[in-house]
Amino acid sequence: MQPGLYHILIISAALFFIGVFGFFTRRNLITMLMSIELILNSVNLNFIAFNKYVWPHKMDGLFFSLFVIAIAAAEAAVAIAIIINLYRSHQSIDVEDAGEMKY
Amino acid sequence: MMNPVYIALIPLLPLAGFLMLGLFGRKFFKETSGIIATLLLLTAFGLSVYVAYDYFTHANGGVYPKTIAFQYTWLRFTDTLSIDMGALIDPISVMMLLVVTFVSLMVHIYSLAYVKGEERFATYYAYLMLFTFSMLGLVLSSNLFQIYIFWELVGLSSFLLIGFYYNKPSAVAACKKAFIVTRFADLGFLIGILILSFYSGTLDFATLINTLTTPESAAMKNAVTASFLGVSAISWGMALVFIGGAGKSAMFPLHIWLPDAMEGPTPVSALIHAATMVVAGVFLVARLFPVFALTTPAVLEIVGWVGAFSAIFAAMIACTQTDIKRVLAYSTMSQIGFMLFALGVSKYGGENGLGFTASMFHLFTHAMFKALLFLGAGAVIHYVHSNEMKDMGGLRKLLPITHITFLIACLAIAGVPPFAGFFSKEEILLAAFNGNKTIYYVALLTSGLTAFYMFRLYFNIFWSKEPATQHDKHHGEGGFAMMMPLVLLAIGAAAAGFIPFGNFVSSDGAKLESHFHLAFSAAPVLIGLSGILLAFVMYKKQSNKATNLANSLGGIYKTVYHKFYIDELYLFITKKILFNLIGRPAAWFDKNVVDGLVNATGNATTMISAKIKGMQSGRVQQYAAYFFAGVFGLVLIFLYIWK
């Protein structure tokens, strides 16, 4: 059986909410970063699926997913740099420990 | 017709001087500023003489025309109502050009010696130039609003010059007082301008006078029928304009600033508070004279009474003062009273307009002898370093030139023939005699008082006791720069009376023959001479006659000596009544209501922010949850509400 659009959308929605859940519940910054990657990839899946099933003669969805991949790479680099610096100053990458910037 | 450039240059040269000295004076022209200013003014004076000569030799069929030399539209509101900058040339403005530039030139020369060595020498000259510019602009003004602008400018330069010694608290107080009192009067002037321009639809003098003296015109009908408190709008307008004039001319009850203004340097008093600025009120009334005389004779009568009352009121105070500059200040006020009541008793046109001519004539001669008196007093003060009469006496041998010129000025102001004051005062008295008998008798009495207090001053300075020896004699009379203006002004004070003034200035522009009545002038001259004689008896030698007289008069003397307690009355009204009844409630309102509102806003902000600041928890995941909730909310809105 060929997978249809809905199958892919269900997978991508599941991926998205797994990412959101991980982002809200995990205290480890690296895990949170990974959750963000999941969210971004669910978006990618959406783009590709809509491109293929709705406008098969266009390439916009592909381009967008390429953009998202590039941005995700840059974002990972920045985030990891922040995490490393946070570790150096706090000896921890627990998000609960980095709460100085509050009221 | 003469070249308008010359006329434009007369005020613009001092303006250029002001800008140059004001901006760069302290750096580049520290030593030379006096010379530069004097040369600029000499040029302006030369141009004025040329303009006057040209104007008065080109009478058009015996009538001097009123011409606009140039006009530049500055702000246009409607087709007829615009604020222009222009120059109106008519006999009185040409006469004022001569007076202002001449006296100003004399003061510039005199100040070269008097203010020499002052730290702010260049600034002083910059202020003098600013004043000269504004005064020339004032007399040349072609419309009501322009005159108002320059009116405020002369007020400003007067303020700056009175407060020139700004480290002296009394000078600072005096300049504030002068500014506030005249500013207060100018409020009336401004309202008057608004009323007049509202009804006549124009600001231009020629059109305004034309509209408001034609009883058939619609504007005139409106202005006469519209009334407030039973007085017609036009009368209100003219009366309010006169309040402005009375403030600037130090008329009762707005005179309180003038005696205090003597805190400024003496040459400044000579220029501003004797010869030129204080006669601006007279000039204003003269400028609008056709409207006063033809449309609102009742207001003109008020002008006359205010003038007459101020004349005798100030003359009485002048008899008791001991500060020589204050005596001169009250004398100025009294003489301006003469000019104003001369206008007040005058009518428009022909023989009946004698008072107008007399007033302008007196303005002219008064400028000469009063500037001379002030400059002479300046020389005396320069010599003895004091303003008080008791520090002077017997100076006639030490200051010979000052003595002679001062004597000439005293004779001129006392109205002794053949000096200038005699002719102008005689004309004023004649006009008063024909116009209003009561004012005539008041004026006659005032003439006697004038002669008395002037010679009281003269004898106290130059005779009385033997000269005190402690005066250092090294600087003598102050040199050529101080003596030359005295001599030139003395020539003016002695000879200006022989000018056939009616040939040049009259209410309607036509020539006016002035007749000389020997029988009529006998009374004022005799009264003047008896005033002089009384002063001679009392003050020629040091004696206690004056003190005895003062003691026998008791309370009356004390009241006059304290200037009828007018200053105290003002203080009572402002401090006790205004402060307590208006100032304090206003302060309370400000503190509790206005500030309360502001504080309430601040307190409310603090309280609310204390409640909601917990949202800024510093937890990334909480922020993400807010974000997610927001997006979720938006999605719901788009799905179910906005579709």
How far, rounded to the nearest angstrom, does the alpha carbon of residue B409 sit from its chain's CA centroid? 21
Q: What is the pLDDT of residues B248-300, one digit of tens each?
A: 888 888 888 888 888 888 888 888 888 888 889 899 998 888 888 888 888 88
Alpha-carbon gap, residue B382 to B482, rounded angstroms: 10
Sign of CA dihedral B268, B269, B274, B280: positive
Cβ atoms of residues B455 and B531 within 8 Å: yes
User: What is the predicted pLDDT for the residue at B469?
Assistant: 56
Closest to B407 in 3D by CA, of B363, B463, B447, B449: B463
State mean pLDDT over A79-87. 93
- Phi and psi based region of residue B393 (left: phi greater than 0; alpha: psi -120 to 50; beta: remaining): left
B619 and A99: CB-CB below 8 Å? Answer: yes
For residue B2, pLDDT beyond 70: no
Q: Does A95 touch chain B (CB under 8 A)?
A: yes
Q: Residue B370: which residues within 8 A CB-CB, separation 6 or more?
A: B270, B274, B275, B328, B331, B332, B335, B409, B413
B624 and A23: CB-CB below 8 Å? Answer: yes
State mean pLDDT over B601-621. 89
Cβ atoms of residues B66 and B509 within 8 Å: yes
Give the right CATH number for A5-95 from 2.60.40.10, 1.20.58.1030, 1.10.287.3510, 1.10.1270.20: 1.10.287.3510
Q: What is the pLDDT of residues B21-73, one digit of tens each?
A: 888 877 787 778 888 889 998 999 999 998 888 888 876 666 777 888 788 88
Q: How confident is the prediction for chain B on average, in pLDDT?
A: 84
Alpha-carbon gap, residue B275 to B397, rounded angstroms: 28
State mean pLDDT over B108-125. 85
Alpha-carbon gap, residue B344 to A99, rounded angstroms: 87
Q: Which of A69-83, B457-471, B605-619 has the lowest mean pLDDT?
A: B457-471
Q: Does B631 touch chain A (CB under 8 A)?
A: no
B617 and A20: CB-CB below 8 Å? Answer: no
User: What is the predicted pLDDT for the residue at B472?
Assistant: 54
Q: Which of A11-15, A20-24, B153-157, B516-520 has the lowest mean pLDDT?
A: B516-520
The percent of residues above 90 in pLDDT, for chain B, comes to 14
B618 and A20: CB-CB below 8 Å? Answer: no
Nearest to A24 among B613, B617, B624 (CB): B624
Alpha-carbon gap, residue B233 to B301, rounded angstroms: 17
Three-state DSSP at B19 gives helix
Closest to B513 in 3D by CA, of B282, B345, B353, B346: B353
Residue whose structure tokens are 């100003």: B104
A95 and B619: CB-CB below 8 Å? Answer: yes
State mean pLDDT over B345-363. 83
Q: Residue B469: which residues within 8 A CB-CB, separation 6 or more?
A: none
Written as six digits, the tokens of B8 are 């434009």
Query: For the stretch B436-473, what's the b/e string if a residue is b when 16 or more beta carbons lie within 10 angstroms of its beta carbon?
Result: beebbebbbebbbbbbbbbbbbbbbbbbbeebeeebee
Closest chain A residue by Cα to residue B625: A24
The DSSP result for A9-70, as a single string, is HHHHHHHHHHHHHHHHH--BHHHHHHHHHHHHHHHHHHHHHHHHHT-TT--HHHHHHHHHHH
User: What is the predicted pLDDT for the residue at B467?
Assistant: 66
3-state percent breakdown (helix, strand, coil) of chain B, nearest 5: 75, 5, 20
Q: Residue A7: which residues within 8 A CB-CB, separation 6 or more?
A: none
Closest chain A residue by Cα to residue B609: A103
For residue B490, pLDDT beyond 80: yes
Closest chain A residue by Cα to residue B610: A103
Greater model confidence, B519 or B357: B357
For residue B400, pLDDT beyond 90: no
Q: Using an 8 Å CB-CB cutoff, list chain A residues near B625.
A: 24
Cβ atoms of residues B333 and B258 within 8 Å: yes
User: What is the predicted pLDDT for the residue at B514?
Assistant: 66
Q: Which of B162-166, B477-481, B585-589 has the lowest mean pLDDT?
A: B477-481
Q: Using an 8 Å CB-CB cutoff, list chain B residues near A98.
A: 618, 620
A20 and B628: CB-CB below 8 Å? Answer: yes
Cβ atoms of residues B129 and B145 within 8 Å: no
Alpha-carbon gap, residue B488 to B409, rounded angstroms: 12
Alpha-carbon gap, residue B100 to B15, rounded angstroms: 14
State mean pLDDT over A67-73. 94
Q: Which of B313-322, B388-397, B419-428, B585-594 has the lowest mean pLDDT?
A: B388-397
Entry pTM: 0.78
B618 and A24: CB-CB below 8 Å? Answer: no
Greater model confidence, A70 or B226: A70
Q: Does A1 touch chain B (CB under 8 A)?
A: no
User: How many beta-carbon pairs below 8 A join chains A and B?
Assistant: 28
A103 and B613: CB-CB below 8 Å? Answer: yes
Q: Distance (Å) from the C-alpha of residue A25 to the closest C-alpha of chain B?
A: 8
Q: Which of B149-153, B367-371, B494-498 has the lowest mean pLDDT?
A: B494-498
User: What is the predicted pLDDT for the residue at B515?
Assistant: 67
Nearest to A24 among B616, B618, B625 (CB): B625
Interface test with B, best of A83, A100, A103 (most B CBs within 10 A): A103
Q: Does B397 touch chain A (CB under 8 A)?
A: no
State mean pLDDT over A16-22. 93
| ipTM confidence | 0.85
Cβ atoms of residues B204 and B84 within 8 Å: yes
Q: Does B616 touch chain A (CB under 8 A)?
A: yes
Cβ atoms of residues B223 and B200 within 8 Å: yes
The residue extents of the domains of chain A are: 5-95
How far, rounded to the nearest angstrom, does the alpha carbon of residue B155 sit from its chain's CA centroid? 8
A95 and B614: CB-CB below 8 Å? Answer: no
Q: Using an 8 Å CB-CB cutoff, list chain B residues near A20.
A: 628
Q: What is the pLDDT of residues B297-311, one digit of tens each?
A: 888 888 889 999 999
Q: Distance (Å) from the C-alpha of residue B597 to the closest C-alpha of chain A?
A: 27
Q: Distance (Å) from the C-alpha of residue B635 to the closest C-alpha of chain A?
A: 15
Cβ atoms of residues A65 and A47 within 8 Å: yes
Q: Using an 8 Å CB-CB cutoff, list chain B residues near A94.
A: none
pLDDT confidence band for B475 (50 / 70 / 90): low
Closest to B101 in 3D by CA, of B131, B126, B64, B70: B131
Nearest to A95 among B614, B620, B625 (CB): B620
**Torsion, Cα of B581, B587, B591, B596 (10° steps):** 70
Closest chain A residue by Cα to residue B629: A20
A103 and B621: CB-CB below 8 Å? Answer: no
Q: How confident is the prediction for chain A on average, in pLDDT?
A: 90
Closest chain A residue by Cα to residue B624: A24
